[in-house]
């Protein structure tokens, strides 16, 4: 129903608004907070703890935008959204950014009136099975019942993969990740499929994580990143460069601990990123120390990764594709200059 | 000299109440039309400006996703338009099952309220009070995640004679594959149904003319089963059994009733049944007790009193109430999405909307469907209502 409400809100917003849309930046500054769409709870990416504090890799994108725009990373309002609700929530203006493990695809980028502002995690779709099923490859899954979440790229990749390999399956589609997991645990399905990172996150949420395993196959490319409304280039730039700033800071060796030092005595590139002798912020309508605030308050990309999904977290995901380009990965920031 | 005849001056055009009201109506119509026109064209312009795709062309594009259950052949290479039909049929299926079963449960429970047996009476009250007061969504979750999810795995299925199986993946029972000669059996079924209608009319006429009664029910049942059975024997059973068997992870073959359908149908039945039971109780209570006494005094048996005196009068109260219960049931079936039963709402407003992003078109189509389905129910129930209504002679 929440979804229907936001579809109707989108309809009304589109039907009743005349003339150009107001700038998101002004709205955010007036409101004093960034409204950010996140998942309903996915370990490592966006998750609420018992005190009601959100954390995760996707949450850090929201926080870095708040740090850049408002100078305070904590000025974020989180809106938990299921996969099905997320795009209408953004279109209707309910949120300013969607940062909810969302795959950048051509259709989404070109037909929803939305823009992807970068990639904060390179992922791929995988399969999780119960160990006592005794399968070691996805190709052994002929006839299996597969639990998936509605409104995801997962639904489409799954159909492609099974058809390409000439094997059959039954897709059981749920609305939220909790229901999907419950379906898997009750034995309604043999397999749970999703982006691999999310499989690790779902696995540690099982009653007995060691009873399940993730199969080696990765069947798709899933570049996950934040999304904004199309047509507000200023806001698009701010979000895009907030993500880049974290990656660039890691590349330059600046982190939350040495940000002050980099600002006062770093090399020219470091000082520029930290807002010394530059109008990089002004060009986007925000203060020039925007990137300094991000790194100081949220950290660089590597710190955020390790804290949320890497070695400092229960997920223990290795950097892999998400390492810097000069360290064997493909994380690469355009230069901030 | 010619004098013009004195015409009685009629009120001016605008003072004529008829003309006035027509003008007002036209103005209102024009105003409303303009209102909707400007909203729609403004929406389209805004969507265009924001780069949101619009129009109905997407219905012809390949869907690319699979659907758990479909009454017509469907796979991922079919179009989004077909996903609409698949979802629609699944909605109709669960609604029909729900309407039939909840009516049965509701009538039994409603009549049980008047039982002479205290236990049965209390049971009926407890049923109504419990299931009417628990939110439907909770009941759906209960059946799905508590009851059906507790069933054994496919490899440890419960079975009935090794042909019917029940497990956490659903209920599997044998199907029949028609072979040559099957059409004779279908013809026999059709003949039996037509025969029953003819018989009924004949028996009524006979009773009207001579007062003699004919055991229509028993003869009808005999025809309904006897004729097809005869055809089966003559043709040498022209069907092959398709018995479900375990292969790999799951059962294959036969007919599968998925647990999502079972849970949703059960929840809708039990929930709506409680409301129908109340409607039936109200209907029966509305028939004055004097009617029963009068019927007894002319020597009718209890069963006949129910059938000939009470029920026809109670129906006048019950039918309008049933109409709204049925409509609610259809609308409530959209809660399917919570457990992934692939009804119109789950498939079309869920997955199709998400893959195409065409929210406005899809929501509009879906609203139109529920509107049409409920108007159809209303239409049928109104006809039923006028057939039970009091006819003054
Ligand atoms: N990356 C994919 C899948 C995203 C997705 O929704 N994944 C599920 C994994 S089960 C999830 O995160 N669910 C969390 C939630 O519903 O809040 C997409 O963009 O379509």
> Residue B315 Cα, ligand 1 centroid: separation in angstroms?
51
SS3 B151: coil
DSSP state of B12: P
Query: Is the Cβ atom of A198 under 6 angstroms away from ligand 1?
Result: yes
Query: Is the Cβ atom of A40 under 6 angstroms away from ligand 1?
Result: yes
Q: Does B205 touch chain A (CB under 8 A)?
A: no
B67 contacts in chain A (CB < 8 Å) = 171
Mark whether B341 and B289 lie in a shared domain.
yes
Mark whether A116 and A229 lie in a shared domain.
yes
Distance CA B182, CA B20 (A): 68
Q: What is the pLDDT of residues B85-128, one digit of tens each?
A: 999 999 999 999 999 999 999 999 999 998 889 999 999 999 99
pLDDT mean over A175-184:
88
Instruction: State pTM to two decimals.
Output: 0.84
Q: What is the pLDDT of residues A135-174, one digit of tens each?
A: 999 999 988 999 999 889 999 999 999 999 999 999 999 9
pLDDT value of residue B119: 95
Distance CA A229, CA A231 (A): 6
- Higher-scoring residue by pLDDT: B203, A63: A63
- Render A272-316 in DSSP notation, one character per residue: HHTTTT--TTGGGTS-TTHHHHHHHHT--HHHHHHHHTSTTSTT-
pLDDT value of residue B6: 58
pLDDT mean over A328-335:
96
- Render B334-380 in DSSP notation, one character per residue: GGGGGTT---HIIIIIIIIHHHH--HHHHHHHHHHHHHHHHHHHHHH
> Residue A139 Cα, ligand 1 centroid: separation in angstroms?
23
What is the CATH number for A216?
Answer: 3.40.190.10
A81's CB contacts (< 8 A; 6+ apart) are A37, A38, A39, A40, A89, A95, A98, A100
Q: What angle do CA B151, B153, B155 make, to 5 degrees?
A: 135
**Confidence class for position A263, pLDDT limits 50, 70, 90:** very high
Residue the block writes with tokens 């109430």: B321
Mark whether A204 and A228 lie in a shared domain.
no
Residue A154 lies in a domain: yes
For residue A235, give its domain range: 26-122+224-322
pLDDT value of residue B182: 84
Mark whether A258 and A312 lie in a shared domain.
yes
- Higher-scoring residue by pLDDT: B77, A1: B77
pLDDT value of residue B140: 95
Residue the block writes with tokens 């990656």: A247
**Chain B interface, best mutation among A105, A133, A155, A229, by max B CB count within 10 A:** A155
Query: Which of B42, B249, B354 is the closest to A151 by Cβ?
Result: B354
Nearest atom, ligand 1, residue A151 CA: 20
**Confidence class for position A20, pLDDT limits 50, 70, 90:** very low
Domain end position, chosen among B242, B270, B300? B242
B128's CB contacts (< 8 A; 6+ apart) are B109, B274, B277, B278
| Continuous H helices in chain B | 17-49, 80-112, 118-133, 136-141, 182-210, 216-235, 259-285, 289-297, 302-304, 311-332, 344, 353-356, 359-388
Mark whether A51 and A112 lie in a shared domain.
yes
Mark whether A85 and A197 lie in a shared domain.
no
Mark whether A33 and A163 lie in a shared domain.
no
Q: What is the pLDDT of residues A187-205, one digit of tens each?
A: 899 999 999 999 998 998 8
Mark whether A56 and A107 lie in a shared domain.
yes
pLDDT value of residue A22: 60
pLDDT mean over A21-48:
92
A133's CB contacts (< 8 A; 6+ apart) are A190, B249
B360 contacts in chain A (CB < 8 Å) = 7, 10-11, 14
**Confidence class for position A19, pLDDT limits 50, 70, 90:** very low
**Confidence class for position A126, pLDDT limits 50, 70, 90:** very high
Task: Please indicate whether, in this complex, the C-beta atoms of B64 and A159 are within 8 angstroms of each other.
Answer: yes
In degrees and rounded to multiples of 5, residue B260 shows phi and psi of -65, -40
pLDDT value of residue B246: 85
pLDDT value of residue A252: 96
Residue B61 lies in a domain: no
Mark whether A238 and A216 lie in a shared domain.
no
Query: Is the Cβ atom of A102 under 6 angstroms away from ligand 1?
Result: yes
Cα distances (angstroms) measured from residue B154 to each of A129, A167, B160, B186 = 15, 19, 14, 35
Domain end position, chosen among A200, A221, A242? A221
Mark whether A171 and A291 lie in a shared domain.
no
**Closest-approach residue (CA) in chain B for A107:** B356
Domain end position, chosen among B242, B267, B294? B242
| pLDDT for residue A21 is more than 60 | no
Task: Please indicate whether, in this complex, the C-beta atoms of A179 and B337 are within 8 angstroms of each other.
Answer: no
Nearest atom, ligand 1, residue A102 CA: 19
Q: Does B54 touch chain A (CB under 8 A)?
A: no
**Chain A interface, best mutation among B245, B258, B354, by max A CB count within 10 A:** B354
User: Range with the lowest mean pLDDT among A7-11, A232-236, B266-270?
Assistant: A7-11
pLDDT value of residue B1: 47
SS3 B246: strand
Mark whether A138 and A202 lie in a shared domain.
yes
A154–chain B nearest CA distance, Å: 9
Mark whether B215 and B269 lie in a shared domain.
no
Domains in chain B: how many in total? 2
Q: Phi/psi zone of residue B208: left (φ > 0), alpha (ψ -120 to 50 degrees), beta?
A: alpha
Query: Which of B50, B350, B359 is the closest to A231 by Cβ?
Result: B50
- Higher-scoring residue by pLDDT: B40, A245: A245
Domain end position, chosen among A221, A251, A268? A221
**Chain A interface, best mutation among B56, B78, B249, by max A CB count within 10 A:** B249
Domain end position, chosen among A195, A221, A247? A221
Query: Is the Cβ atom of A194 under 6 angstroms away from ligand 1?
Result: yes
pLDDT value of residue A15: 61
Low-confidence ranges of chain B (pLDDT < 70): 1-11, 391-393
| pLDDT for residue A293 is more than 70 | yes
Mark whether B224 and B331 lie in a shared domain.
no
pLDDT mean over A302-310:
97
What is the CATH number for B112?
Answer: 1.10.3720.10
Mark whether B264 and B380 lie in a shared domain.
yes
Reported as type and span, the H/E element at residue A111 is helix A106-111
For residue B336, give its domain range: 80-129+257-388
A10 contacts in chain B (CB < 8 Å) = 359-360
Mark whether B199 and B341 lie in a shared domain.
no
| pLDDT for residue A213 is more than 90 | yes
Residue B134 lies in a domain: no
Residue A313 lies in a domain: yes
- Higher-scoring residue by pLDDT: A21, B270: B270
Residue B124 lies in a domain: yes
């Amino acid at each position: 129903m929440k979804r229907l409400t936001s579809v109707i809100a989108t309809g009304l917003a589109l039907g009743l608004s005349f003339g150009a849309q107001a700038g998101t930046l002004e709205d955010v500054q007036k409101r004093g907070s960034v409204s950010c769409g996140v998942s309903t709870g996915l370990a490592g990416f966006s998750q609420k703890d018992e005190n009601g504090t959100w954390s995760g890799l996707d949450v850090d994108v929201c926080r870095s935008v708040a740090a850049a725009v408002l100078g305070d990373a904590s000025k974020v309002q989180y809106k938990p959204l299921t996969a099905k609700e997320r795009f209408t929530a953004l279109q209707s203006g309910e949120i300013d950014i969607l940062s909810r493990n969302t795959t950048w695809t051509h259709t989404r980028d070109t037909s929803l009136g939305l823009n992807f502002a970068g990639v904060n995690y390179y992922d791929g779709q995988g399969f999780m099975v119960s160990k006592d099923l005794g399968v070691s490859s996805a190709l052994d899954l002929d006839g299996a019942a597969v639990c998936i979440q509605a409104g995801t790229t997962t639904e489409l990749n799954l159909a492609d993969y099974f058809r390409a390999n000439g094997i059959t399956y039954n897709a059981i589609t749920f609305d939220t990740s909790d229901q999907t997991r419950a379906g898997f645990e009750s034995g309604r399905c043999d397999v749970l499929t999703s982006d691999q990172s999310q499989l690790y996150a779902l696995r540690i949420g099982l009653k007995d994580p060691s009873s399940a395993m993730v199969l080696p196959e990765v069947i798709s490319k899933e570049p996950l990143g934040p999304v904004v409304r199309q047509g507000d280039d200023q806001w698009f730039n701010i979000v895009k460069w907030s993500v880049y700033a974290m990656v660039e800071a890691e590349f330059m060796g600046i982190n939350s601990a040495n940000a002050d030092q980099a600002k006062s005595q770093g090399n020219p590139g470091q000082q520029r990123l930290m807002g010394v002798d530059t109008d990089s912020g002004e060009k986007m309508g925000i203060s020039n120390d925007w990137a300094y605030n991000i790194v100081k308050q949220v950290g660089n990309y590597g710190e955020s990764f390790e804290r949320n999904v890497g070695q400092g977290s229960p997920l223990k995901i290795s950097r892999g594709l998400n390492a810097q380009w000069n360290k064997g990965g493909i994380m690469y920031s355009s230069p901030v200059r | 000299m010619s004098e013009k005849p004195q015409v009685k001056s009629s009120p001016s055009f605008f003072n004529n109440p008829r003309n006035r009201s027509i003008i007002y109506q036209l103005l209102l119509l024009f105003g409303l039309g303009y209102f909707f026109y400007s909203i729609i064209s403004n929406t389209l312009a805004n969507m265009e400006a924001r780069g949101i795709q619009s129009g109905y062309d997407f219905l012809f594009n390949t869907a690319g996703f699979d659907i758990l259950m479909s009454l017509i052949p469907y796979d991922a290479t079919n179009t989004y338009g077909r996903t609409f039909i698949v979802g629609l049929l699944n909605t109709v299926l669960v609604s029909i099952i729900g309407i039939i079963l909840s009516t049965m449960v509701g009538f039994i429970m409603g009549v049980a309220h008047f039982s002479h047996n205290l236990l049965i009476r209390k049971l009926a009250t407890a049923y109504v009070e419990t299931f009417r007061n628990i939110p439907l969504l909770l009941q759906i979750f209960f059946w799905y995640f508590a009851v059906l999810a507790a069933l054994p795995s496919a490899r440890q299925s419960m079975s009935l004679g090794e042909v019917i199986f029940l497990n956490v993946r659903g209920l599997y029972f044998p199907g029949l594959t028609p072979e040559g000669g099957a059409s004779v059996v279908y013809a026999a079924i059709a003949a039996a149904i037509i025969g029953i209608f003819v018989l009924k009319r004949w028996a009524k006429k006979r009773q009207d003319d001579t007062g003699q009664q004919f055991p229509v029910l028993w003869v009808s049942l005999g025809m309904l089963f006897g004729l097809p059975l005869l055809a089966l024997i003559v043709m040498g059973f022209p069907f092959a059994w398709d018995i479900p068997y375990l292969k790999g992870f799951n059962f294959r073959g036969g007919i599968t009733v998925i647990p999502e359908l079972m849970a949703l149908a059960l929840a809708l039945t039990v929930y709506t049944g409680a409301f129908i039971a109340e409607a039936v109780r109200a209907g029966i209570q509305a028939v004055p007790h004097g009617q029963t006494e009068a019927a007894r005094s002319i020597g009718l048996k209890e069963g006949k009193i129910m059938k000939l005196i009470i029920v026809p009068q109670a129906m006048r109260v019950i039918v309008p109430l049933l109409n709204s219960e049925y409509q609610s049931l259809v609308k409530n079936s959209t809660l399917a999405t919570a457990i992934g039963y692939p009804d119109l709402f789950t498939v079309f407003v869920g997955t199709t909307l998400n893959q195409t992003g065409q929210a406005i078109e899809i929501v509009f189509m879906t609203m139109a469907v529920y509107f049409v389905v409920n108007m159809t129910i209303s239409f049928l129930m109104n006809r039923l209502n006028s057939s039970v209504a009091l006819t003054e002679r």
